[in-house]
C-alpha cells in the first residue's frame, strides 16, 4: 500500500466538507474518485497534495505518517496534483514548462540543453506528438494536459493526482490521455483521477471510490460494480426515485431560431425555447456549442438566419442588445472572459 487516508475530516467555517474518509491507494494502479459536485473530491485531493491541512485524521505514505506543512513537501515526497485549470505558461516552450522552477544547472547556470534533452526523452518514452521546443500556447488542450503530466513526472515519482483531466476533451483527445495514464501506471506510480464521466471507468480504472456529501460510501475494484450502481451511490438512491418523471407543460415559445448559421462554425440551426423551460445543448468539444451560445449573446454579428424573441424578430449584433432584451451569459472560461480577477466581488457584480 503506497498511500492511505485514515479518518480524514475537513471543515471550512464550521461546515464539514469531508467526514471520516479512509481510503488506500496502491502503486501501479489507476484509482478513480467519483462523486457529484460538492462531494468533497477536490478537497480530499488537495489534502493529499499539501494544499489543505485536514481538520482530523491522518495520512500515511509507504507506512509512515505524514503531515504536510506546504505543497512543496508533498512534491518532494513524490506526490503531485494537476488541477482542472492548468497552470502552464503559454509563452514558454514545452521544455521550459516541464522544468520551470527546477531548472537543471551546470557551473551555476541554467542548462537549457539538458532540460531539452530530458524533455525529449520523456516525449519519446510516451510517444507524444509535439516537440520540446514547441510553444505551449500553440498546443491543443490535450497536449497541454500531457505537458502538465510530464512536468509532474519530473517532480513526483510516487503519486500523480488528476482533477477531471478530460472535462473539456473530445473522445479522441481523451483516448490520448488515457494511453499516457496507462503508461505512467506501468512505471509503478499510483494515479488518482477525479471524473464525472462514468464511461471512463471501463478499461481505465482499476479501483473506484465514491464520495457523497463528504463521506466515502463505496470503494472496490472497478470490475465489481456497475455504472448504474455507481450512479445510485452518487445520488443516494435510484435515478427514478431522485428524478421522477414530471408532467410536461410547455409555455409559449419565448425564443426561436430559424436557419441560423455562422460561417465555418454553425449550419442551419433551428430550435425553440419555451417559457419556464431549461434547454441543454450537448455535444463533444469542437461541436460548436459555445459559438451558438455566443451568437445568442450578440458576440458574432456575422451570423445569418432569423432569431425571434418574445414574438418579434431581433438582430443580435452586440452584447448590449442582448443585455437590453434581458439576456445573460456565463462564459465557460471564467478567467479570460467571465470575471475580472483583479477586481473585488462587488466590482465584478
In order, the DSSP letters of 236-258 are: TS-HHHHS---------EEEEEE
* Alpha-carbon torsion, ordered 191, 196, 199, 202, to 10 deg: 30
In order, the DSSP letters of 118-146 are: HHHHHHHHTT-SS-TTSBGGGS-HHHHHH
pLDDT at 6 over 70: yes
Q: How confident is the model at residue 37 (pLDDT cuts 50, 70, 90)?
A: confident
Phi, psi of 157 (to 5 degrees): -120, 15
Q: Shortest CA distance to 44 belongs to which of 13, 69, 76, 20? A: 20
* In the block, residue with C-alpha cell 426561436: 256
The Cα 55–Cα 40 span in angstroms is: 14
Helix/strand/coil for 71? helix
The whole-number average pLDDT for the span 333-337 is: 73
- Please tell me which of 165-179, 253-267, 329-343 the model is most confident about, judged by mean pLDDT: 253-267
Partner residues linked to 305 by β-bridges: none
The whole-number average pLDDT for the span 49-74 is: 93
Q: How confident is the model at residue 9 (pLDDT cuts 50, 70, 90)?
A: very high
Helix/strand/coil for 220? strand
pLDDT at 106 over 60: no
Cell reading at 114 = 539538458
Helix/strand/coil for 76? helix
Q: How confident is the model at residue 68 (pLDDT cuts 50, 70, 90)?
A: very high
Q: How confident is the model at residue 32 (pLDDT cuts 50, 70, 90)?
A: very high
* Amino acid 105: pLDDT: 58
Q: How confident is the model at residue 289 (pLDDT cuts 50, 70, 90)?
A: confident
- Lowest model confidence (mean pLDDT) among 25-29, 56-60, 228-232: 228-232
pLDDT at 244 over 70: no
Strand spans (E) along the chain: 3-12, 15-25, 29-34, 56-61, 64-66, 79-82, 105-106, 109-110, 159-163, 190-195, 207-212, 215-221, 253-262, 266-274, 304-309, 312-314
CATH fold for domain 3-242? Rossmann fold (3.40.50)
* Amino acid 41: pLDDT: 93
SS (H, E, C) 293-314: HHHHCCCCCCCEEEEEECCEEE
- Across the chain, mean pLDDT equals 88
The Cα 97–Cα 134 span in angstroms is: 11
pLDDT at 249 over 60: yes
* Amino acid 108: pLDDT: 59
Query: For the chain, what is the radius of gyration of the CA atoms?
Result: 24
* Amino acid 339: pLDDT: 86
Is residue 46 within 8 A of residue 207, CB to CB? The reply is no
Cell reading at 143 = 497536449
Q: What is the DSSP letter of 205?
A: -
* Amino acid 287: pLDDT: 82
Phi, psi of 152 (to 5 degrees): -70, -35
Task: Indicate where the chain has its CATH 3.40.50.300 domain(s).
Answer: 3-242, 253-348
Q: How confident is the model at residue 197 (pLDDT cuts 50, 70, 90)?
A: confident
pLDDT at 239 over 60: yes
- Lowest model confidence (mean pLDDT) among 27-36, 130-139, 148-157, 167-176: 167-176
Please tell me the CATH superfamily of domain 253-348, with its number. Answer: P-loop containing nucleotide triphosphate hydrolases (3.40.50.300)
Q: How confident is the model at residue 240 (pLDDT cuts 50, 70, 90)?
A: low
* In the block, residue with C-alpha cell 472535462: 167
Amino acid at each position: 500500500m503506497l498511500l492511505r487516508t485514515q479518518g480524514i475530516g475537513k471543515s471550512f467555517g464550521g461546515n464539514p466538507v469531508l467526514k471520516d474518509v479512509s481510503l488506500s491507494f496502491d502503486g501501479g494502479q489507476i484509482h478513480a474518485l467519483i462523486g457529484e459536485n460538492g462531494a468533497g473530491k477536490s478537497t480530499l485531493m488537495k489534502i493529499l497534495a499539501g494544499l489543505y491541512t485536514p481538520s482530523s485524521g491522518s495520512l500515511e505514505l509507504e507506512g509512515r505518517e505524514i503531515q504536510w506543512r506546504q505543497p512543496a513537501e508533498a512534491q518532494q515526497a513524490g506526490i503531485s496534483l494537476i488541477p482542472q485549470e492548468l497552470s502552464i505558461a503559454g509563452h514558454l516552450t514545452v521544455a521550459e514548462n516541464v522544468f520551470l522552477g527546477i531548472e537543471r544547472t551546470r557551473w551555476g547556470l541554467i542548462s537549457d540543453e539538458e532540460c531539452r534533452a530530458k524533455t525529449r526523452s520523456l516525449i519519446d518514452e510516451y510517444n507524444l506528438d509535439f516537440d520540446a521546443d514547441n510553444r505551449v500556447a500553440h498546443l491543443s488542450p490535450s497536449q497541454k494536459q500531457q505537458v502538465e503530466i510530464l512536468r509532474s513526472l519530473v517532480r513526483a515519482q510516487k503519486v500523480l493526482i488528476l482533477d477531471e483531466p478530460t472535462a473539456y476533451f473530445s473522445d479522441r483527445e481523451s483516448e490520448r490521455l488515457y494511453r499516457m495514464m496507462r503508461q505512467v501506471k506501468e512505471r509503478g506510480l499510483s494515479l488518482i483521477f477525479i471524473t464525472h464521466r462514468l464511461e471512463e471507468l471501463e478499461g481505465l480504472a482499476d479501483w473506484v471510490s465514491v464520495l457523497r456529501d463528504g463521506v466515502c460510501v463505496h470503494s472496490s475494484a472497478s470490475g465489481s460494480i456497475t455504472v448504474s450502481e455507481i450512479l445510485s451511490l452518487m445520488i443516494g438512491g435510484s435515478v427514478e426515485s431522485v428524478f421522477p418523471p414530471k408532467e410536461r407543460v410547455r409555455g409559449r415559445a419565448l425564443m426561436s431560431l430559424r436557419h441560423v448559421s455562422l460561417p465555418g462554425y454553425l449550419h442551419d440551426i433551428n430550435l425553440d425555447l419555451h417559457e419556464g423551460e431549461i434547454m441543454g445543448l450537448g455535444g463533444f468539444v469542437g461541436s460548436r456549442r459555445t459559438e451558438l451560445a455566443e451568437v445568442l449573446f450578440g458576440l458574432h454579428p456575422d451570423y445569418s438566419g432569423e432569431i425571434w424573441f418574445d414574438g418579434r424578430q431581433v438582430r443580435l449584433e452586440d452584447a448590449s442588445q442582448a443585455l437590453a432584451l434581458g439576456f445573460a451569459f456565463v462564459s465557460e472560461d471564467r478567467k479570460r472572459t467571465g470575471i475580472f480577477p483583479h477586481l473585488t466581488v462587488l466590482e465584478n457584480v
